[in-house]
């Protein structure tokens, strides 16, 4: 049996820099991973089996529309997979891709595979960076992933109001598909405060079109910005999950408790991004 953690992927920046002729959008994004996420358990079995448990299991598909099932199929081995779902679905934090990457890593361990099967990175644009599981710069359509060591940890509060925002709709609503990329170099060795200041000068180009689709995202961002000691609030991915950054872990935990009291129907989690 093998258990693998599937961390939430947070786009602390997301610049849309172009669009290919085939319709795929080009990105320049700094990705960091949270210490909150789903769990994937894999064990050998006589016949394949997949089940979803956990506090966010409701309405999670168990057929081949789930990336876990498609990832498992690449190995062609009968296994019993249990996905313990803790992250909201379609939330802009890479839950499905991270689950798929965790499944691949778990199956490689269970089957003794030293090389990942063909087709792994075709499961989704975020799967490659989710296999890396560390801070990275992701460019192109997700195929160009460069680790970013030397970044300070970020203390954050994640908040999702419980609405799903379809990624294709958000991209389609983006009026300008060609925007400036991030600076050539992501700074290393900065203290947390200085790094947050650098991030504040970057963007998520999908924020405005996502708000146009789901106005509550603007409320989430405003509420996060209003939390004591919040230094920056931004949306992750194509939404609807947003985050606020703080200089200390205690400040993030305090803000999460306050926000949970203010908005008991929202999914709210304090976390450390690295």
Q: Do residues 12 and 130 share a domain?
A: yes
Question: Which is the catalytic residue, given 99, 126, 144, 184?
Answer: 126
* CA-derived radius of gyration, the chain: 18
Residue from 241, 230, 224, 268 nearest 14 by CA = 241
Q: Do residues 225 and 262 share a domain?
A: yes
For 235, the token pair is 């949306």
Confidence band, pLDDT 50/70/90 cuts, at residue 252 = very high
Per-residue pLDDT, 254: 98
Q: Do residues 39 and 130 share a domain?
A: yes
SS3 state at 21: coil
With a pLDDT cut of 90, the percent of the chain lying above it is 97
Confidence band, pLDDT 50/70/90 cuts, at residue 231 = very high
Please give the DSSP secondary-structure letter assigned to residue 117. P
Q: Do residues 122 and 174 share a domain?
A: no
Q: Where are the beta strands (DSSP E) in the chain?
A: 2-11, 15-19, 25-44, 49-53, 79-84, 136-140, 144-147, 154-160, 232-235, 242-246, 267-273
Mean pLDDT of 219-245: 98
Mean pLDDT of 98-121: 95
Mean pLDDT of 199-211: 98
21 has catalytic annotation: no
Per-residue pLDDT, 114: 87
Per-residue pLDDT, 126: 96
Question: Which is the catalytic residue, given 9, 28, 38, 99?
Answer: 9
With a pLDDT cut of 70, the percent of the chain lying above it is 100
Q: Do residues 38 and 160 share a domain?
A: no
pLDDT digits (tens, 9 = 90+) for 119-136: 999 999 999 999 999 999
- Structural domains in the chain (count): 2
205 has catalytic annotation: no
Q: Do residues 21 and 51 share a domain?
A: yes
| pTM listed for this prediction | 0.96
Q: Do residues 8 and 131 share a domain?
A: yes
Angle at 141 between CA 224 and CA 197, to 5 degrees: 35
pLDDT digits (tens, 9 = 90+) for 44-80: 999 999 999 999 999 999 999 999 999 999 999 999 9
- Long-range CB pairs of 229-234 (<8 Å, 24+ gap) are 229/254, 229/255, 230/255, 231/193, 231/196, 231/200, 232/196, 232/199, 232/200, 234/12, 234/199, 234/204, 234/207
Spatial contact of 229 and 122, defined as CB atoms under 8 Å apart: no
Residue at which a domain ends, from 106, 123, 140 = 140
Per-residue pLDDT, 65: 96
| C-alpha dihedral (262, 90, 217, 38), degrees to nearest 10 | 40
Residue 25, pLDDT > 90, answer yes
For 15, the token pair is 């610049």
Mean pLDDT of 195-200: 98
Q: Which domain holds residue 189?
A: 149-273
Mean pLDDT of 33-48: 97
**What is the overall mean pLDDT for the chain?**
97
Q: Do residues 53 and 97 share a domain?
A: yes
Residue 43, pLDDT > 90, answer yes
């Amino acid at each position: 049996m093998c258990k693998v953690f599937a961390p939430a992927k947070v786009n602390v920046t997301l610049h849309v820099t172009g669009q290919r002729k085939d319709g795929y959008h080009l990105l320049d994004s700094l990705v960091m991973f949270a210490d909150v996420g789903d769990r994937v358990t894999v064990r050998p079995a006589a016949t394949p089996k997949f089940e979803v448990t956990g506090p966010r299991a409701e309405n999670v598909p168990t057929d081949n529309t789930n990336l876990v099932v498609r990832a498992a199929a690449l190995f062609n081995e009968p296994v019993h997979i249990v996905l313990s779902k803790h992250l909201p679905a379609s939330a802009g934090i890479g839950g499905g891709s991270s689950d798929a990457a965790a499944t691949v890593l778990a199956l490689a361990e269970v089957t003794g595979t030293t090389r990942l099967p063909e087709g792994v990175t075709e499961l989704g644009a975020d799967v490659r960076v989710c296999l890396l599981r560390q801070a990275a710069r992701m460019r192109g359509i997700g195929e160009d992933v460069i680790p970013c060591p030397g970044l300070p940890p970020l203390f954050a509060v994640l908040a999702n109001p419980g609405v799903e925002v379809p990624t294709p709709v958000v991209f389609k609503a983006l009026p300008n598909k060609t925007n400036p990329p991030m600076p050539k170099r992501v700074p290393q060795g900065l203290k947390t405060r200085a790094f947050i200041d650098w991030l504040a000068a970057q963007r998520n180009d999908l924020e405005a079109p996502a708000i146009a689709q789901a106005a509550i995202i603007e409320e989430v961002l405003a509420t996060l910005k209003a939390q004591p000691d919040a230094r920056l609030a931004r949306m992750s991915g194509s939404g609807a999950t947003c985050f606020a950054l703080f200089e200390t872990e205690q400040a993030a935990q305090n803000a999460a408790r306050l926000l949970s009291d203010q908005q008991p129907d929202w999914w709210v989690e304090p976390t450390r991004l690295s």
